[in-house]
Amino acid sequence: MNAIISASELASALAGDNPPVLLDVRWQLSVAKAAGEPPFDGRAAYAAGHLPGAVFVDLDRELAGSPGAGGRHPLPDLAEFGAAMRRAGVSPARPVVVYDGGQGWAAARAWWLLRWTGHPDVSVLDGGLTAWEGPLATDVPAPAEGDFEPVPAAAGLLDADGAAALARSGVLFDARAGERYRGDVEPIDRIGGHIPGAVSAPTHDNVGPDGRFLPAEELGARFKALGAADGTQVGVYCGSGVSGAHEVLALAVAGIPAALYVGSWSEWSSDPSRSVAVGPDPQ
């Protein structure tokens, strides 16, 4: 099972005997703008055109719980998540391909959740919808109910204490932009900076100009240069557990298993008792 799939590979799979379930998870981070622009509407983008047979999945409502002490995108209620996946036609016996508008963050969040809760065959469309050269559809499909039952894994998930410990015992990657890691700016959360000991590894460096992932060998060399040596435990966090999932996906492409701190900086920074480091130095 490959973590990512190309558009041509997807086209072949859709024509095969066991075509994948398609999930459209278009989403963008909503940041208040002085111009008062409306937030991105993923469902409207889906209605305007999507891969034939794809079902829309709402990241904020189906792939995350309500914002609060656990961060801006905490884990969803697993019973509700399972119900949403079954409505979309997800079953363990069929592969699942997830895509978004091209950034890959939202698709990676769905990929991570499905993998962490036990689906055996999930991949992300490399490059997202922009990589697809086939026709689009505007109808809303009504797939047969799936039978996927989420069972979370014992590994692969970090809480705040686990992230803090891993920053000392292994390597904890901060997937946000470098200026947020350093604390130069913080447009969303209470305070800027990073978890002490975390290493800056911006998500945007995992992809090329076309939005597709770099080759596995290049990704592996990048992460090893940042401290992910063979045998080292690896974890990732970001702002709220979305772009961090994309980094976990990039690590998977490179053959490096990693855990995700879902609460990420939005949870960590909301707790005044947590230490905060600023500047380019991890400590």
The catalytic residue positions are 238
| Secondary structure (3-state) at 167 | helix
* 104 conformational bin, left if phi > 0, alpha if psi -120 to 50, beta if neither: left
Q: Which two tokens stand for residue 152?
A: 């979370």
Q: How far is CA 248 from the centre of its chain?
A: 7
Residue keyed to tokens 């803090």: 164
Q: From CA 11, how far away is CA 175, in angstroms rounded?
A: 31
| Secondary structure (3-state) at 204 | helix
Per-residue buried b or exposed e for 49-64, using 16+ beta carbons within 10 Å of the residue's own CB: ebbebbbbbbbbebbb
If we measure between CA atoms, which residue out of 198, 129, 209 comes closest to residue 169? 198
DSSP 8-state class, residue 22: E
Contact predicate 197/220, CB 8 Å: no
If we measure between CA atoms, which residue out of 237, 82, 270, 268 comes closest to residue 157? 237
Give alpha helix (H) positions in 148-214: 160-169, 178-182
Q: From CA 249, how far away is CA 191, in angstroms rounded?
A: 27
What are the respective helix, strand and coil percentages of the chain, to the nearest 5? 30, 15, 55
